[in-house]
Amino acid sequence: MEIKSVFIIGAGLMGSGIAQVSAQAGYKTKLFDVNPQALEAAMGNIKNSYNKFVAKGKLTQEQIDKALANLSVTSQMDDASEFDLIIEAVFESVELKQKIFKQLETICKHDAIFATNTSAIAITKIASITKKPDKVVGLHFFSPVPLMKLVEIVSGVKTSQETIDLVAKVASDFGKTSVLVKKDFGGFIVNRVYLPYIRMALLTLTEGVADVEEIDIGVKLGLGYPMGPFELGDMVGWDIMYNAMNAIYKDTEDNAFAPPLLLKRLVDAGVLGKKTGEGFYLYDDKGQKIGVNNDLAII
Ligand SMILES: NC(=O)c1ccc[n+]([C@@H]2O[C@H](COP(=O)([O-])OP(=O)(O)OC[C@H]3O[C@@H](n4cnc5c(N)ncnc54)[C@H](O)[C@@H]3O)[C@@H](O)[C@H]2O)c1
């Protein structure tokens, strides 16, 4: 079997980025969402992004014309029936993802490969709802998809080598470097290393070891990281951080992922980072950092 077409479910941040790179790589690509506004916004974002690449001389107008000719959108999930690879990128909910995979089985060709872009849910758990867990795989892209080079290919307990080889070729065609996650372990590679680091930064703050800016400066200059943990968390969103940590903690019961109370309270209070104008730093309307958020009552 050869993968020539890609159907993407969920036209949010990740789904639209995946559609953009897929169409650009020459795959027949269709983007599906239950929300027509999400589809409209996704097409607008994709066109803007292509135009920026042209302005920077990284793509030609001819290349984006070809990419756009490969790309279409739909509000009908039944359109997945003709496609070789399905990539699911809806909200991070086991129930929703399992419902979609169950539906896909009744719609798709028997040899179609089902991939999920989940950050934290076990592939094996999503695959268990289907009758073909050998054809279910994790394809974990990073945001922003058109710029970030990495894809984690995650093997569930029953994922076949053929499935892994097929999606590895797709990731390579998308211009990505893929790494194989051999065991379906919470956090895969990147989040498994990264979330305990964020957790420890939060504990370093709550235990009064150092202040926000000192920790960020320490990590940047001492470890050579481009951003400190609080700058990074403010950019990603503390709700996303909390949900990922909590999902892995629930799955693995490993304390390295136990969300600190401060993180939970930030989410309760809607202090989510740049997107709400307020995290550990304060931001203006344009998202520029304007100072440290000294009003936070650190638990
Ligand atoms: N945001 C990130 O940085 C990031 C990085 C890697 C992986 N992920 C994972 O990717 C997935 C998507 O994340 P996102 O940030 O793009 O989310 P998002 O909220 O931007 O988009 C989700 C989209 O799914 C759509 N949707 C919901 N239910 C649907 C259904 N039944 N059928 C079709 N579409 C449906 C919504 O309308 C929305 O457009 C999640 O599993 C997330 O954990 C996110």
Q: What would the pLDDT profile of 142-178 be if each residue is shown by its tens digit?
A: 989 999 999 999 999 999 999 999 999 999 999 999 9
> Residue 167 in contact with residue 153, Cβ under 8 Å?
yes
Q: Tell me, in angstroms, the distance from the centre of ligand 1 to residue 184's CA.
A: 20
Q: Is 58 helix (H, G, I), strand (E, B) or coil?
A: coil
Give the C-alpha separation, 73 to 263, whole Å. Answer: 37
The amino acid present at 90, given as its one-letter code, is V
User: Catalytic site residue 35?
Assistant: no
Q: Where are the domains of the chain?
A: 5-181, 190-291
Q: To 10 degrees, what angle do helices 229-236 and 190-206 make?
A: 120
119 CB near ligand 1 (under 6 Å)? yes
User: Which CATH homologous superfamily contains domain 5-181?
Assistant: NAD(P)-binding Rossmann-like Domain (3.40.50.720)
The pLDDT assigned to 297 comes to 85
Cis preceding linkage at 226, omega within 30: no
Q: Which residues of the chain are under the pLDDT cut of 50?
A: none
Separation of CA 89 and ligand 1 centre (Å): 5
Cα atoms found within 13 Å of the Cα of residue 89, Cβ hemisphere only: 27
Residue-level pLDDT at 16: 98
Does ligand 1 come within 6 angstroms of the Cβ of 126? no
Compute the distance between CA of residue 102 and CA of residue 87 in angstroms, rounded to an integer. 14
Select from 74, 90, 98, 192 the residue to mutate for testing ligand 1; criterion: most ligand atoms less than 8 Å from CB: 90
What is the CATH number assigned to the segment(s) 190-291? 1.10.1040.10
User: What whole-number distance in Å separates Cα of residue 49 and Cα of residue 267?
Assistant: 31
Paired residues of 153 in beta bridges: 139, 180
Residue of the CA atom closest to atom 25 of ligand 1:
10
Residue from 39, 43, 74, 91 to probe ligand 1 pocket by mutation (most atoms less than 8 Å from CB): 91
**Spatial CA neighbour of 199 closest among 139, 141, 250, 242:** 242
Extract the tokens encoding 23: 């169409």
* Nearest C-alpha neighbor of 29 from the set 82, 102, 101, 107: 82
Q: Which amino acid, one-letter code, is at 176?
A: K
Of residues 119, 155, 178, 243, which has the active-site annotation?
Answer: 119
CA–centroid distance, 93 to ligand 1, in Å, is 9
**Same CATH fold assignment for domains 5-181 and 190-291:** no
The strands making up 28-32's β-sheet, listed across from edge to edge, are 71-74, 28-32, 5-9, 85-88, 113-116, 136-141, 150-155, 177-181
- Ligand 1 binding pocket includes 12 (Cβ within 6 Å): yes
